[in-house]
A and B are shown apart, each in its own frame.
Chain A
């Protein structure tokens, strides 16, 4: 068999695989449909170029296989052709880049009404902090973390007192409301990634990074750590539950604020002292 036929088979096989593949995007559950669209556009343009280039190659090797004394073209350069190809490629590249940059611009500009959620990552687990009624998260530092203050919130910062602390890896979100994820890491790099939301960003110790999305489908989603973080990386999973406004309210009302936690701890301390006194 002529090798050209096998190469042709590879091209046709690739196209058929793409058409009949059972493996494709997980159903999107956020506002980032534009990312999927950009990828599909890239697929069409890029896939088209791949097929054309390979088919031209196959044509050449089928047509111009070695024959003694075949007349070969001698043309070291062709400025016109080179110019046309340069311009066509540049146009194609711009067609891919421009929509990509527009989508990216949306990605880095968070809407004003976005709900803030701080994601705390460590080896190997997650916890969350939400702003209280003031809508502002208190400042926090790794050095201040202790058993009494699991998020390292600055005690002098009044904004931190009403922060809602969720010492659990399940996060609840309201449907159809943008969320700004603020990422904090206590030790190494991590990445809070839900495939259905498409968005992701690394959490870096010492810096607060962010991204945003708007969940728009009620359901439960698995969170995967998407930045290698040591031997427990593959097991660093969590859960996001997207639910209706009313269910979300019920959930948030059950959560503890930082001042609740301090009060509880002082209460505990008081009790311990009392018990100690009684024992004396």
Chain B
């Protein structure tokens, strides 16, 4: 199918099918007509040496892989930190070097790494770079050089972050939310070099990410190929696009709060620091507001949740559709839900602050906006499961991960309704219920999508299939293990066990939690180790995996239709593809095959009763 983007100019009378041309209002009898390109083709810089080809590379696909590998490396560090925390919680005193200081440092670094350096970088930097140009039919990102710099800024940010493990005092132990005043006062571990390096690293991350993000947005808006209208884009691209737009608006809030806190720390300004008494001495600060930091942080922090979730929503929609051999149900509603959720996510931030001591009247507003956001989110869930209805579902590893995503996401979404409703949040906030909620909804659920996406796109990236047998073992260990970590954890929150406690001692009402803590720790170790199956699968399949050939999943979207597999620099050989339809034409009545690729012109599937979409 790959060569069929040669435009067919034979005029045909439109009879059975709707004209799919993107040019509304252009009277034409040619049913294959697609409006000509408006911009000339891009000139690409082709690397010649090893350094320009693989290190300082300007090919978005290589940059995507670089982002992916760096993010996975930080993710493994985050995973190991979580093991150490779990060991302390399940078996206190078992590991002598986990002191309270170290425990809080592990908590902080685990949180920050997983949210920012792992998930955000992986979805947008990794999948975004690899998939955007391929899926919209571009040769590369519009600014390849800036794209390269973006990755290397991220790399430096990771290096600075990792360096904080080795400075005197160690990394910061302020909690991933870095709330002042404690973050920069001596009562918190790593309050000297540790917090400073964290703030610098975050600032570098934001700067690097802005370069990448502008690239993603402009590429999606300007470099789509002929016929690829916005409403024909795969939902993956919609998810990444909206998430990037959110990031462009949310990350500045993080950047300014980092800069302001650095000034408070280094120069003694008082942006976030009121008058403080420490060890009998009144410090030289005065007049600042710790709550201001929380507003800035969560103005970034809540959209950040959707910066991770929206690409996951998009990707999972595409995976479900391809492997259920059915169009995604309610595509337009899915698009509007993504955009709507993205817009609403800027009006809900203070639901993280119901018990922060902000003006209590804010609670009414933010509880209402938060529960409003549940509506488009629920609609997306309905559309995923309706897509499965009367479909033809391949029960392969990719689909299993999608199903695992649906279960964990619905679970975590519903506990989100608990926490969003202000009166319910009051007893549950700052307990293990919160930990269980956000790990389920933005830890496990997006991870399910990432893993499913790796099984799905590995054949494209490597040209070989991953082992299905190992994949299924990997899925069941991960899904069942992770579910049994976080599902019972909600109940610790009901008891009232507070989060960020190094040790519970023998509080009368939490002794019953000891058994559960041990169980959770064992489950966490198993889930972590079972990722070795995944790594083994990837490493061996690179060499001995079954050759994938072209379009092994019989998918419709453009990334599978490149002349070479894996796609080479420039993606499309001599001619850019021309798009005639959306990417979800599976099992169209009247069509010979159960899929019609985006580049198939209407004249080739003249009997297919394609609905206008």
What are 17 sample pairs from A and B whose C-beta atoms fall under 8 A apart? A2-B395, A14-B411, A24-B491, A24-B495, A39-B428, A46-B418, A64-B389, A72-B392, A72-B587, A123-B187, A142-B275, A187-B276, A188-B179, A195-B427, A224-B496, A228-B104, A229-B187
B414 within 8 A of A: yes
Query: Is B424 in contact with A100, judged by CB distance below 8 angstroms?
Result: yes
Query: Is A53 in contact with B276, judged by CB distance below 8 angstroms?
Result: no
A251 within 8 A of B: no
Query: Is B503 in contact with A234, judged by CB distance below 8 angstroms?
Result: yes
Cβ 8 A contact of A42, one of B356, B421, B587: B421
Query: Is A35 in contact with B427, judged by CB distance below 8 angstroms?
Result: yes
Q: Shortest distance in angstroms between A215's beta carbon and chain B's nearest beta carbon?
A: 15
Among A146-178, those with CB < 8 Å from B are none
B residues in contact with A122, CB < 8 Å: 277
B379 within 8 A of A: yes
A121-140 interface code vs B (CB 8 A; 1 in, 0 out): 01110000000000000000
Cβ 8 A contact of B101, one of A193, A209, A231: A231
The winner among A99, A201, A225 for most chain B CB atoms within 10 A is A201
- Known contacts being A54-B407, A205-B274, is A76 close to B393, with CB within 8 Å? no
A204 closest partner in B (C-beta): B357
A residues in contact with B427, CB < 8 Å: 32, 35-36, 39, 195, 198-200
Query: Is A89 in contact with B379, judged by CB distance below 8 angstroms?
Result: yes
A105 closest partner in B (C-beta): B364
B residues in contact with A254, CB < 8 Å: none
CB within 8 Å: A-B pair count = 324
B325-336 interface code vs A (CB 8 A; 1 in, 0 out): 111011111000
B378 within 8 A of A: yes
A7 within 8 A of B: yes
B151 within 8 A of A: no
Interface size on B, residues (CB 8 A): 113
Query: Is A17 in contact with B488, judged by CB distance below 8 angstroms?
Result: yes
Query: Is B275 in contact with A205, judged by CB distance below 8 angstroms?
Result: yes
Among B578-592, those with CB < 8 Å from A are 584, 586-589
Query: Is A38 in contact with B421, judged by CB distance below 8 angstroms?
Result: yes
Query: Is A7 in contact with B403, judged by CB distance below 8 angstroms?
Result: yes
Query: Is A187 in contact with B495, judged by CB distance below 8 angstroms?
Result: no
Among B480-529, those with CB < 8 Å from A are 480, 483, 487-488, 491-492, 494-496, 498, 500-505, 507-509, 512-513, 516
- Known contacts being A3-B403, A187-B276, is A97 close to B368, with CB within 8 Å? yes
Query: Is B363 in contact with A97, judged by CB distance below 8 angstroms?
Result: no
Q: Shortest distance in angstroms between B589's beta carbon and chain A's nearest beta carbon?
A: 6
Q: Shortest distance in angstroms between A109's beta carbon and chain B's nearest beta carbon?
A: 9
Distance of A187 Cα from B596 Cα, bound (Å): 65
Distance of A74 Cα from B595 Cα, bound (Å): 12
B residues in contact with A234, CB < 8 Å: 100, 500-504
B543 within 8 A of A: no
A94 closest partner in B (C-beta): B371
Query: Is A66 in contact with B414, judged by CB distance below 8 angstroms?
Result: no
B429 within 8 A of A: yes
Q: Shortest distance in angstroms between B347's beta carbon and chain A's nearest beta carbon?
A: 15
Cβ 8 A contact of B430, one of A3, A54, A191: A191
B residues in contact with A42, CB < 8 Å: 417-418, 421, 424
Query: Is A50 in contact with B414, judged by CB distance below 8 angstroms?
Result: yes
Distance of A75 Cα from B512 Cα, bound (Å): 52
B180 closest partner in A (C-beta): A188
Distance of A142 Cα from B374 Cα, bound (Å): 43
Distance of A86 Cα from B390 Cα, bound (Å): 22
A186 within 8 A of B: yes
A residues in contact with B394, CB < 8 Å: 66
Query: Is A57 in contact with B406, judged by CB distance below 8 angstroms?
Result: yes
Binds B, one of A77-85, A241-249, A262-270: A77-85
Binds A, one of B24-32, B242-250, B257-265, B380-388: B380-388
Distance of A100 Cα from B390 Cα, bound (Å): 39
Query: Is A104 in contact with B422, judged by CB distance below 8 angstroms?
Result: yes
Q: Shortest distance in angstroms between B323's beta carbon and chain A's nearest beta carbon?
A: 9
A residues in contact with B500, CB < 8 Å: 228, 233-234
Q: Shortest distance in angstroms between B110's beta carbon and chain A's nearest beta carbon?
A: 14
B173 within 8 A of A: yes
Distance of A231 Cα from B106 Cα, bound (Å): 12
Query: Is B423 in contact with A35, judged by CB distance below 8 angstroms?
Result: yes
A residues in contact with B586, CB < 8 Å: 72
Query: Is B188 in contact with A230, judged by CB distance below 8 angstroms?
Result: yes
Distance of A161 Cα from B381 Cα, bound (Å): 61
Distance of A228 Cα from B188 Cα, bound (Å): 10
Query: Is A143 in contact with B495, judged by CB distance below 8 angstroms?
Result: no
B residues in contact with A198, CB < 8 Å: 426-427
Query: Is A104 in contact with B423, judged by CB distance below 8 angstroms?
Result: yes
Query: Is A227 in contact with B430, judged by CB distance below 8 angstroms?
Result: yes
Query: Is A74 in contact with B410, judged by CB distance below 8 angstroms?
Result: no
Distance of A77 Cα from B613 Cα, bound (Å): 9
Query: Is A57 in contact with B407, judged by CB distance below 8 angstroms?
Result: yes
A147 closest partner in B (C-beta): B280
* 6 tightest Cβ-Cβ pairs between the two chains A and B: A195-B496, A206-B274, A230-B187, A209-B357, A103-B423, A72-B587
